[in-house]
């Protein structure tokens, strides 16, 4: 299998974690006889500084002609006063729009070894397996009009969805649910917002084609609570762009660290793969970042862009084994002092590579 993967590492811990993900993918390629060709381009703050724009044209061209894009993270405090489209985050939203993927899959698992790292009780979170399907190209992020009018002292954004935008993402969510535990929770604010009423009616309509999937609706405020109280009750969770952004970071509390969560965005011209976390300026450049979310994102590339299920599973198993052996980055060692070894970003990447190698030898 040949895969051309564009790496846009971005800012802060982005380069640190994508380096480890790429190294694991190279190990898989070497062992399995695959050819993964990596190219690197700038995005975000690093591109603003060097190219004067958060998404240079050659980055976008390279992305559009690749088989998959692996993005680290963008953003930095020095850019906070720029208008949204000129900021590093603007570059991320532009590449998402240009690649066209509208369904952002954000899996959240409870890893047995990490339950102690969560402020939630182990008996509440053990066995959690949620797949968020976050709509990624609509809602407040892209709706027009949007403006901060400094003369009038007003600012506005628009939460807008079309029927077609909800249909296409709902279909993806129902299809995924029908291959899992056959439950779909759609999250909205239909008690207040017209856009959520359209969302709910459309999800009900799409649901008629999936009678085998149990559909429920939750308001987003209540969902934020249910997810903490009874996370095991949820299978696929479908929601709009901003609600999905918030709920998926909240779900990191179940897993034990934001640094564990991967994502894949499908449905467009080229799939885009990003860990859920950001550039983490508070820990950047210190070797403290957890690379496992980025490494698990690499597994999603193999699954969704390469059809390499066994290789994707080998990475996921290696991550579990490394945790079982007691290896932790600092964010994963909060609740544990005994029986764990705290590793740097690079050391954690090396452990996963070693374990992947052993697994492929024994396969």
Residue 290 binding partner per list ligand IPM, Mn ion, ligand NAD, none, with a CB distance cut-off of 5 to 8 Å that depends on partner kind: ligand NAD
Site string for ligand NAD, 202-241 (x = CB under 6 A): ----------------------------------------
74 makes contact with ligand NAD (CB under 6 A)? yes
Q: Is 286 a catalytic residue?
A: no
Cis bond upstream, residue 149 (ω within 30): no
Q: Give yes or no for a contact between 70 and 298, defined as CB atoms under 8 angstroms apart.
A: yes
Q: What is the DSSP string of 98-123?
A: HH---EEEEEEE--GGGGGGSSS-HH
* Lookup result for tokens 């997810």: 227
245 makes contact with Mn ion (CB under 5 A)? yes
259 makes contact with ligand NAD (CB under 6 A)? yes
Q: Give yes or no for a contact between 262 and 275, defined as CB atoms under 8 angstroms apart.
A: yes
Of residues 240-279, which lie at the interface with ligand IPM (CB under 6 A)? 245, 276, 278
Q: Is 245 a catalytic residue?
A: yes
Span near ligand NAD by CB under 6 A; candidates 111-119, 138-146, 167-175, 281-289: 281-289
Nearer of residues 80 and 337 to ligand NAD, judged by Cβ: 80
Could you list the beta-strand ranges (E) of the chain.
Answer: 2-10, 35-40, 68-73, 103-109, 129-135, 147-149, 154-156, 183-188, 214-219, 236-239, 264-266, 271-273, 327-328, 341-342
For residue 56, give both structure tokens.
């240079």
Q: Is 189 a catalytic residue?
A: yes
Q: Give yes or no for a contact between 64 and 99, defined as CB atoms under 8 angstroms apart.
A: yes
Nearer of residues 125 and 261 to ligand NAD, judged by Cβ: 261
Nearer of residues 275 and 291 to ligand IPM, judged by Cβ: 275
Catalytic residue among 85, 209, 221, 233: 221
258 makes contact with ligand NAD (CB under 6 A)? yes
Q: Give yes or no for a contact between 32 and 97, defined as CB atoms under 8 angstroms apart.
A: no
- Cα–Cα distance between 252 and 108 in angstroms, integer? 7
Q: Is 269 a catalytic residue?
A: no
Catalytic residue among 171, 182, 189, 357: 189
* Residue of the chain from 5, 13, 63, 92 that contacts ligand IPM (CB under 6 A): 92
What minimum distance in Å lies between the beta carbon of 357 and ligand IPM? 31
- Cα–Cα distance between 355 and 46 in angstroms, integer? 33
Q: Is 331 a catalytic residue?
A: no
Site string for ligand NAD, 92-121 (x = CB under 6 A): x-----------------------------
Span near ligand IPM by CB under 6 A; candidates 1-9, 88-96, 284-292, 296-304: 88-96
The backbone region for 72, taken as left when phi is positive above 0, alpha when psi lies in -120 to 50, beta otherwise, is alpha
The C-alpha angle with vertex 257 and arms to 256 and 259, in degrees rounded to 5, equals: 150
Positions touching ligand IPM (CB under 6 A) are 75, 89, 92-93, 245, 276, 278
Q: Which residues are catalytic?
A: 141, 189, 221, 245, 249
Which positions touch ligand NAD (CB under 6 A)? 13, 17, 73-75, 89, 92, 258-259, 274, 277-283, 289-290, 293, 331
């Amino acid at each position: 299998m040949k895969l051309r993967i564009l790496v846009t590492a971005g800012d802060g811990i982005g380069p640190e974690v994508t380096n480890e993900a790429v190294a694991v993918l190279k190990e898989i390629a070497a062992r399995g006889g695959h050819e993964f060709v990596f190219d690197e381009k700038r995005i975000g703050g690093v591109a603003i500084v060097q190219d004067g724009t958060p998404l240079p044209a050659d980055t976008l061209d390279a992305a559009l002609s690749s088989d998959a894009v692996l993005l680290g993270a963008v953003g930095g405090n020095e850019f906070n006063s720029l208008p949204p489209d000129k900021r590093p985050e603007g570059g991320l939203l532009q590449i998402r729009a240009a690649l066209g993927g509208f369904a952002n899959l954000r899996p959240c698992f409870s890893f047995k070894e990490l339950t102690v790292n969560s402020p939630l009780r182990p008996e509440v979170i053990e066995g959690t397996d949620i797949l968020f399907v976050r709509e990624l190209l609509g809602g407040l992020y892209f709706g027009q009009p949007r403006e901060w009018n400094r003369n009038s002292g007003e600012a506005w954004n628009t939460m807008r969805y079309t029927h077609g935008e909800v249909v296409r993402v709902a279909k993806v969510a129902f299809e995924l649910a029908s291959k899992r535990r056959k439950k779909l929770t759609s999250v909205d604010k239909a008690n207040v917002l017209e856009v959520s009423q359209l969302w709910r009616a459309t999800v009900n309509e799409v649901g008629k084609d999936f009678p085998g999937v149990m559909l429920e609706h939750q308001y987003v405020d209540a969902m934020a609570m249910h997810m903490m109280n009874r996370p095991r009750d949820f299978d696929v969770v479908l929601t709009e762009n901003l609600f999905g952004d918030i709920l998926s970071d909240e779900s990191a509390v179940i897993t034990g660290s934001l640094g564990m969560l991967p994502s894949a965005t499908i449905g467009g011209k080229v799939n885009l793969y990003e860990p859920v976390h950001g550039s983490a300026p508070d820990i950047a450049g210190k070797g403290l970042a957890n690379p496992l979310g980025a490494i698990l994102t690499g597994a999603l590339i193999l699954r969704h862009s390469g059809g390499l299920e066994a290789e994707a599973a080998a990475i996921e198993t290696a991550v579990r084994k490394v945790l079982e052996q007691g290896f932790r980055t600092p964010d994963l060692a909060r609740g544990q002092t005994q029986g764990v070894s705290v590793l740097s970003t690079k050391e954690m990447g090396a452990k996963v590579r070693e374990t992947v190698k052993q697994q492929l030898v024994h396969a």
